[in-house]
């Protein structure tokens, strides 16, 4: 609830008339455009974030994150606080993305929440995510309001 | 005896006594004489004088010469007794000689007295010698008899006809028969019927070779009806006057024979095991020469080389042994006391593979030094075949399991994904009261795409499952050149107007008996992949050729296209719905289907590729796989 209060205060300070949002920036990584559309709409409807960055490949997402992190301290305004990533993607899948991210980018400036957002109900995938880090949030598509609140609580 | 003769003269008349004395003195005989006139003095003189000779007058007043002789005989002494008389009747003389008178003289012929005395003395002395000798012989014989009759060996004497004429008591002990039951009967009767011929032969031989000792063992009848084993010898001493017989001696060896028989039996048992076992045993000496081997050895090794195992030859000179890898080093290690087990294989004369399990074991001597090597070899072909079959089945099960896992994965990802979107979209439509028409259209499009995707995936899965089903199609002969031409025609629209060259070389093998639709699908997918993922900046070259290697058909597909990072994607290249070039359209099913079909044809596929270095697929199919044929015919 602190976060919400903070946001409210920030909004008040910035005198923004837009509906209050939980996060400033979040990132969606999914190769399927339809999925991105659905996820974006749900995030918007639930006022989850003010800004949503959409990437259709894990590679381009990594490049984006690398670029903005070079800005250093000042990147706070644009650095995503939550990253949603699909597992099943060509060239680099969600797990590979997380590994790369944790190796090169995490802890440098911010520590965004990592959310695996997948259609997979395959148990092994969930276990694999847990093995990489217990902080990773594993969600099944489609994204719903209830699921979003799980991210908040974490 | 001293040289002086002691003469006792029995005479009642002194002048007569003087006369006799004078006569003796005349002859020059050295003597000492005692004259006794009556019985009393005579008896005393016999006792104390110890005469060498007695001269007695016949008619005496107190007793007669007959009495004197009797008295002498009663003492048991043997002293020459010479009678001197005036007259003598023939009947009296006969009775006197019977009683032991040695000589007699008439009184008027006394001149013969010295000769008579000397003769009588000599005669008695000779008699005494003879007696002594006789006693000696008797005692000697007694000794021998005792010896013969007390030793445990039986001794028989046989006459010329083979009849028993003497038998020592131990013969009774051994055979149970009493001497009276067998004496003067032929020895033949006591032999075991099976030994009779040999026994007769030996007698004949002994008869022909006098003096030669012959040894033999036979079974002879015991009184209790059983046959007992005896061992003995026979010597022909018919020519020896004193013996005039065959001498046979024998002893009971039944117990020993029983033990021998037991030993032979156990040896025979061992030999039977040794020769009937499934394992070949070869015994080598320290120089690796063959000392012995069992029957199985020839069977096992002859099938591999046609060579004969021979005792005494160098083990390493056999070509079948030489072929074993590092056999020299192995044997050297064994000679240093190590035990080595290994498996080896070879083809027999008909080209059938044979697997052998060999163990080399050092043989240690008394001082724990290696004195030889035992090579035991077992034909494990059947076991090995079973193992291979089992391995094949296991790998098949593993493959099936992997396929099942992959299916679970596909269902969770590829089926769930459009379903999740449908749920998401319908939720959105529901929960957004005043949706913009633009968003609503997108939702409806999204629903359509998702449903279509769901349907496609279901159709794909159905197709894959169909392919995986038992192969029902018949195998037929496929010519690669024809196959390539067919495919080229069907993909003409892809080739036309593009700089694509397909070079083929099927000179080594152009035909393959297989399931045509599968091999067609494999070729089609690989060729269309090469076209799809060609490098747009250079002319495409696809090279396809066939080879025969280790009785396997090897087909290579090589292109100069974009290539795949085989290190990064090594586990997913042949996976279903795996795509490596997102910018190029495709479902990610091609290579998955190729691999499935190659494996259905008992084949193997591998990829050699790198980004921008082109891609090569190498396919291997068995040409003569009897095991595979067998399992399929079941």
B215-273 pLDDT, tens digit each: 888 899 999 988 999 988 999 988 888 888 999 989 888 888 888 888 888 888 888 88
| Mean pLDDT for the stretch of residues B439-455 | 91
B92 in Cβ contact with B119 (< 8 Å): no
CB atoms within 10 A of CB B4: 11
Task: Look at B544 and B567; give whichever has higher pLDDT.
Answer: B544
Q: Does B506 touch chain A (CB under 8 A)?
A: no
B-contacting residues of A 21-40, CB under 8 Å?
A: 31-32, 34-35, 37-39
Q: Is residue A120 part of a domain?
A: yes
CATH number for the region B278-379 comes to 3.30.450.20
Q: Does B420 touch chain A (CB under 8 A)?
A: yes
Q: What pLDDT, on a 0 to 100 scale, did the predictor assign at position B1?
A: 46
Q: Which of B427, B439, B449 is nearest residue A144 as measured by Cβ atoms? A: B427
CA dihedral A126, A130, A133, A135 (to 10 degrees): 80
Instruction: Provide the residue ranges of all domains of chain B, joining segments of one domain with +.
Output: 5-131, 151-259, 278-379, 385-467, 471-633
Helix B480-490 and helix B516-532, axial crossing angle in degrees, nearest 10:
50
Q: Is B597 exposed, middle or buried (0-12, 13-18, 19+ CB in 10 A)?
A: buried
- The Cα B585–Cα B526 span in angstroms is 16
Q: Is the preceding omega at residue A142 within 30 degrees of 0, hence cis?
A: yes
- The Cα B424–Cα B447 span in angstroms is 9
Q: Does B419 touch chain A (CB under 8 A)?
A: yes
Q: What pLDDT, on a 0 to 100 scale, did the predictor assign at position B525?
A: 92
Strand B511-514 to B604-609 pairing: unpaired
Task: Name the minimum distance, in Å, from the CA of A147 to any CA of chain B.
Answer: 12
Work out the percent of chain B whose per-residue pLDDT is above 70: 97
Give the residue numbers spanning the domain of A96: 19-153
Task: Name the minimum distance, in Å, from the CA of B424 to any CA of chain A.
Answer: 5
CB contacts of A94 in chain B (<8 Å) are none
Query: ipTM of this predicted complex?
Result: 0.79
**If you average pLDDT over each of B129-138, B147-156, B624-633, which comes out highest?**
B129-138
Q: Does A120 touch chain B (CB under 8 A)?
A: yes
What is the pLDDT tens value at each position of chain A, 154 positions in all?
A: 455 455 555 555 555 455 678 888 999 999 988 999 999 999 998 899 999 999 999 999 999 988 887 776 666 678 899 999 999 888 888 999 999 998 877 666 678 899 999 988 878 889 999 999 999 999 998 998 889 988 887 7
CB contacts of B446 in chain A (<8 Å) are 34, 37-38
Cross-chain Cβ contact B421/A38 below 8 Å: yes
- The Cα A39–Cα B425 span in angstroms is 10
Q: What pLDDT, on a 0 to 100 scale, did the predictor assign at position A7?
A: 52
Q: Is residue A6 part of a domain?
A: no
Residue B548 confidence (pLDDT) above 60: yes
Residue B628 confidence (pLDDT) above 60: no
Q: Which of B416, B427, B449 is nearest residue A120 as measured by Cβ atoms? A: B416
Q: Does A121 touch chain B (CB under 8 A)?
A: yes
Residue B165 confidence (pLDDT) above 80: yes
pLDDT digits (tens, 9 = 90+) for B132-145: 899 988 888 888 88
Q: What is the mean pLDDT of chain B?
A: 86
| Domain B278-379 and domain B385-467 have a common topology | no
| Mean pLDDT for the stretch of residues B463-492 | 83
Residue B191 confidence (pLDDT) above 70: yes
CATH architecture under which domain B5-131 falls: 3-Layer(aba) Sandwich (3.40)
A65 Cβ neighbours under 8 A, 6+ residues apart? A27, A79, A80, A101, A105
Q: What pLDDT, on a 0 to 100 scale, did the predictor assign at position B626?
A: 36
CB contacts of A31 in chain B (<8 Å) are 582
A20 in Cβ contact with A50 (< 8 Å): no
Helix B295-305 and helix B254-276, axial crossing angle in degrees, nearest 10:
20
Q: Does B587 touch chain A (CB under 8 A)?
A: no
Q: Which of B412, B446, B588 is nearest residue A120 as measured by Cβ atoms? A: B412
Q: What pLDDT, on a 0 to 100 scale, did the predictor assign at position B88?
A: 78
Q: Which one of A38, A97, A129 makes the best mutation probe of the B interface by having the most chain B beta carbons within 10 Å? A: A38
Q: Does A141 touch chain B (CB under 8 A)?
A: yes
Q: What pLDDT, on a 0 to 100 scale, did the predictor assign at position B631?
A: 34
- The Cα B187–Cα B220 span in angstroms is 10
Q: Is residue A122 part of a domain?
A: yes
**Nearest residue of A to residue B418, measured between CA atoms:** A119
Task: Look up the CATH number of the domain holding residue A88.
Answer: 3.40.50.2300
Was domain B151-259 assigned CATH 3.40.190.80?
no
Task: Name the minimum distance, in Å, from the CA of A107 to any CA of chain B.
Answer: 26
pLDDT digits (tens, 9 = 90+) for B280-331: 999 999 899 998 888 888 888 888 877 788 888 898 888 888 888 888 899 9
pLDDT digits (tens, 9 = 90+) for A41-67: 999 988 999 999 999 999 999 999 888
Q: Is residue A3 part of a domain?
A: no
A-contacting residues of B 7-36, CB under 8 Å?
A: none
Q: Which of B412, B419, B581 is nearest residue A122 as measured by Cβ atoms? A: B412
Q: What pLDDT, on a 0 to 100 scale, did the predictor assign at position A124?
A: 84
Q: What pLDDT, on a 0 to 100 scale, did the predictor assign at position A82?
A: 93
Count up the domains in chain A and report the number. 1
Q: Does B59 touch chain A (CB under 8 A)?
A: no
Q: What pLDDT, on a 0 to 100 scale, did the predictor assign at position B627?
A: 34
- The Cα A1–Cα A16 span in angstroms is 20
Select B385-467's CATH number: 1.10.260.40, 1.10.10.10, 1.10.287.130, 3.30.1490.20: 1.10.287.130
Residue B461 confidence (pLDDT) above 50: yes
CB contacts of B412 in chain A (<8 Å) are 119-122, 125
Residue B202 confidence (pLDDT) above 80: yes
Cross-chain Cβ contact B424/A122 below 8 Å: no
CATH class of the structural domain B471-633: alpha beta
- The Cα B234–Cα B202 span in angstroms is 9
């Amino acid at each position: 609830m602190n976060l919400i209060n903070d946001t409210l205060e920030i909004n008040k300070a910035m005198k923004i008339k837009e509906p209050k949002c939980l996060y400033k920036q979040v990132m969606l990584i999914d190769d399927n455009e339809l999925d991105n559309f659905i996820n974006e709409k749900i995030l918007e409807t639930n006022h989850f974030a003010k800004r949503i960055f959409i990437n259709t490949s894990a590679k381009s997402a990594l490049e984006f994150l690398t670029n903005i992190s070079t800005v250093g301290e000042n990147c706070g305004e644009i650095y995503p606080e939550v990253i949603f990533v699909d597992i099943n993607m060509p060239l680099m899948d969600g797990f590979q993305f997380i590994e790369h991210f944790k190796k090169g980018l995490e802890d440098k400036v911010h520590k965004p929440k990592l959310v695996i957002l997948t259609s997979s109900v395959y148990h092994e995938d969930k276990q694999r995510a847990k093995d990489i880090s217990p902080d990773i949030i594993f969600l099944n598509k489609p994204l719903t309001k209830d699921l979003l609140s799980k991210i908040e609580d974490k | 005896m001293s040289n002086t003769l002691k003469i006792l003269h029995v005479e009642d008349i002194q002048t007569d006594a003087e006369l006799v004395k004078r006569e003796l003195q005349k002859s020059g005989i050295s003597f000492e004489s005692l004259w006794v006139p009556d019985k009393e003095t005579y008896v005393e003189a016999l006792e104390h004088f110890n005469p060498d000779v007695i001269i007695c007058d016949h008619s005496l007043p107190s007793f007669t010469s007959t009495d004197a002789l009797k008295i002498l005989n009663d003492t048991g002494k043997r002293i020459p007794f010479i009678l001197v008389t005036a007259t003598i009747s023939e009947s009296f003389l006969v009775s006197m000689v019977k009683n032991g008178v040695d000589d007699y003289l008439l009184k008027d012929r006394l001149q013969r007295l010295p000769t008579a005395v000397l003769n009588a003395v000599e005669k008695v002395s000779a008699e005494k010698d003879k007696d002594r000798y006789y006693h000696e012989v008797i005692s000697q014989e007694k000794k021998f008899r005792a010896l013969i009759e007390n030793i445990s060996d039986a001794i028989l004497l046989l006459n010329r006809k083979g009849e028993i004429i003497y038998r020592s008591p131990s013969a009774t002990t051994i055979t149970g028969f009493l001497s009276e039951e067998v004496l003067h009967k032929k020895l033949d009767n006591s032999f075991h019927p099976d030994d009779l011929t040999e026994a007769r032969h030996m007698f004949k031989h002994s008869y022909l070779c006098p003096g030669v000792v012959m040894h033999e063992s036979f079974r002879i009848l015991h009184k209790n009806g059983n046959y007992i084993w005896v061992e003995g010898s026979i010597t022909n001493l018919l020519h020896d006057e004193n013996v005039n017989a065959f001498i046979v001696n024998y002893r009971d060896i039944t117990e020993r024979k029983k033990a021998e028989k037991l030993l032979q039996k156990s040896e025979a048992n061992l030999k039977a095991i040794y020769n009937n076992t499934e394992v070949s045993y070869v015994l080598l000496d320290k120089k690796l020469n063959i000392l012995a081997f069992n029957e199985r050895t020839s069977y096992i090794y002859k099938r591999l080389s046609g060579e004969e195992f021979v005792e005494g030859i160098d083990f390493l000179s056999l070509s079948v042994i030489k072929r074993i890898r590092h056999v020299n080093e192995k044997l050297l290690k064994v000679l240093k006391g190590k035990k080595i087990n290994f498996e080896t294989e070879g083809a027999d004369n008909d080209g059938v593979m044979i697997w052998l399990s060999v163990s080399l074991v050092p043989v240690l001597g008394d001082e724990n030094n290696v004195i030889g090597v035992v090579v035991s070899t077992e034909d494990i072909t059947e076991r090995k075949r079973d193992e291979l079959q089992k391995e094949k089945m296991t790998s098949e099960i593993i493959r099936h399991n992997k396929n099942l896992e992959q299916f679970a994965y596909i269902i969770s990802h590829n089926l769930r994904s459009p379903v999740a979107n449908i749920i998401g979209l319908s939720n959105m439509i529901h929960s957004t009261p005043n949706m913009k028409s633009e968003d609503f259209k997108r939702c409806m499009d999204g629903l359509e795409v998702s449903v279509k995707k769901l349907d496609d995936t279901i159709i794909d899965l159905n197709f894959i499952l169909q392919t995986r089903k038992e192969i029902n199609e018949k195998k037929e002969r496929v010519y690669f050149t024809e196959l390539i031409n067919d495919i080229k025609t069907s993909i003409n629209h892809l080739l036309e107007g593009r700089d694509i060259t397909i070079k083929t070389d099927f000179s080594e093998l152009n035909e393959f008996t297989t399931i045509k639709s599968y091999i067609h699908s494999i070729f089609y997918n690989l060729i269309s992949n090469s076209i799809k993922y060609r490098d747009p900046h250079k002319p495409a070259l696809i090279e396809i050729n066939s080879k025969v290697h280790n009785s396997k058909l090897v087909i290579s597909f090589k292109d100069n296209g974009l290539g795949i990072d085989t290190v990064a994607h090594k586990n997913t290249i042949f996976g279903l719905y795996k795509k490596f070039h997102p910018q190029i359209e495709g479902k990610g099913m091609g290579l998955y289907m190729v691999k499935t079909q190659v494996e259905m044809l008992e084949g193997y596929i591998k990829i050699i590729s790198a980004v921008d270095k082109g891609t090569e697929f190498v396919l291997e199919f068995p040409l003569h796989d009897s095991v595979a044929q067998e399992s399929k015919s079941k």
